[in-house]
Amino acid sequence: MKVHVSKNQLADVLGHVERIVPARSSNPGLSLVRIKLEEQLLVFSGSNMDIDIEAQLPADVTGNGEIAVPAGVLGQVVRALPGDDVELSIEEQEMGLSSGTYSTRLQLVDPDQAPALDFEDSYDGLLPAPALHRILSNVRYATATADYQAIFRGVKLELSDSRTRAIASDGFRLAYDQVEESSGLDAQVVVPARSVDEMIRVLGEGEAQLSANASQLSLKSSGIRMNLKLMEGTFPDYERIIPHEFPVAVSVNARELSQAVSRVSLMADRTTNNRVDLFVHEGTVQITAEGSFGRSQEAVTVQQEGSEHEIAVAFNAKYLTDALSPLGGRARISLSRDSAPTVMVDPDAPGYLAMVVPLRTT
């Protein structure tokens, strides 16, 4: 059977599958891409046991069949093809790829060696893909990387009848972002950070279809279906630890503040948690850092409000710049004394909130 497809479309589809499928695995079947031939359609699928992915490519297929080849090798060959079009020829033992004067014959592997995957035929929920993309992207940074508490290595999605919220925390900081739009689902799930990255990659224009059960979140967007294994455990009740009263608040250009904090933090030592000190006073925030090589400082103008005239708070510089990163315009930063958390929001685009626990200075 011969099938003609565009090289770029085939490379795109394989790119999605290749990012999931492990290049090497103790289970060799896991490194395969399964290719189903359906009427006018090629369907590629693979898995890393945490994420199953399936991507469809319209093509001049007549008849049915199923084959498997190593995903990484197929991807490499397709990306290297010299022409714009590829002729695939599926035979008993081999899959031929030819383009221009170049041709390759890949040995087929029994598709039963690849994991059997089960994708949803219909989904219960629906959200604009760009909205889901935004709330996941904006909180991803706050997930934990260390073995602090396993559940913090995921992003929580709260799907309710009034809004959709993504939340991440590592115990020292927290971020959430939300849209006032319901997916139609009523569920609370925690998706591993690595799987969130793949969701973000797949979510483009148009709509995202969603389903959830106790063990998996299913997603369909841009012609790609994914099953994402959920994390077990309970995400802590975070809302009660977000303060609502602050002695001082400032409004500041988020990018300007973030760049100043980055520069100043170059003099901070890793051994002191990359500490920078912020001193708010008379419409200015003075940022200082000191370490074994020397010290540095910068002042940024702010609009200051609140019941008190000045406040001094110390932060891990990275936590500050991360928290400011989703904010394109102004940031409203509400500061507390005595190691109580600082809260940052975008006054012009509600939805996003970041909370950072300051460093103890005594």
- The encoded tokens of residue 135 equal 């709330």
User: Is 297 a binder of a second copy (CB under 8 A)?
Assistant: yes
Q: Does 273 bind a second copy (CB under 8 A)?
A: no
Report, in Å, the least distance between residue 334 CB and a second copy: 24
Q: How far apart are CA 251 and CA 344, in angstroms?
A: 10
Report the 10 Å Cβ neighbour count for 353: 20
**Rounded least distance, CB 241 to a second copy, Å:** 34
Shortest approach of a second copy to residue 143 CB, angstroms?
Answer: 27
Compute the C-alpha angle 287/288/291, nearest 5°: 150
Considering only the stretches 116-124, 153-161, 179-187, 289-297, report the one whose residues sit in contact with a second copy under the rule CB under 8 A.
Answer: 289-297
Q: Tell the smallest beta-carbon distance from residue 184 to a second copy (Å).
A: 45
Residues binding a second copy: what is the number (CB under 8 A)? 33
With 0-12 / 13-18 / 19 or more C-beta atoms within 10 angstroms meaning exposed / middle / buried, residue 70 is middle
- Is 6 a binder of a second copy (CB under 8 A)? no
What DSSP string runs through 30-77?
A: GGEEEEEEETTEEEEEEE-SSEEEEEEEE----S-EEEEEEHHHHHHH
- Determine the Cα–Cα distance for residues 236 and 149; give it in Å rounded to an integer: 11
If binding is defined by CB under 8 A, does position 82 make contact with a second copy? yes
* 107 belongs to the binding site for a second copy (CB under 8 A): yes
Could you tell me which residues are beta bridge partners of residue 165?
158, 178
Member of 113, 253, 262, 272 binding a second copy (CB under 8 A): 262
Concatenated DSSP letters of 252-291: EEHHHHHHHHHHHHTTS-GGGTTEEEEEEETTEEEEEEEE
Contact, 86 vs 97, CB < 8 A?
yes
Q: Which stretch binds a second copy (CB under 8 A): 59-67, 80-88, 168-176, 207-215?
A: 80-88
30 or 193: CB nearest a second copy? 30
- Window of 22-30, 46-54, 118-126, 263-271 that interacts with a second copy by CB under 8 A: 263-271
Give least dist CB 298 to a second copy, A. Answer: 4
Q: Which residues bind a second copy (CB under 8 A)?
A: 69-70, 73, 76-77, 80-82, 94, 100-107, 259-260, 262-264, 266-267, 292-300
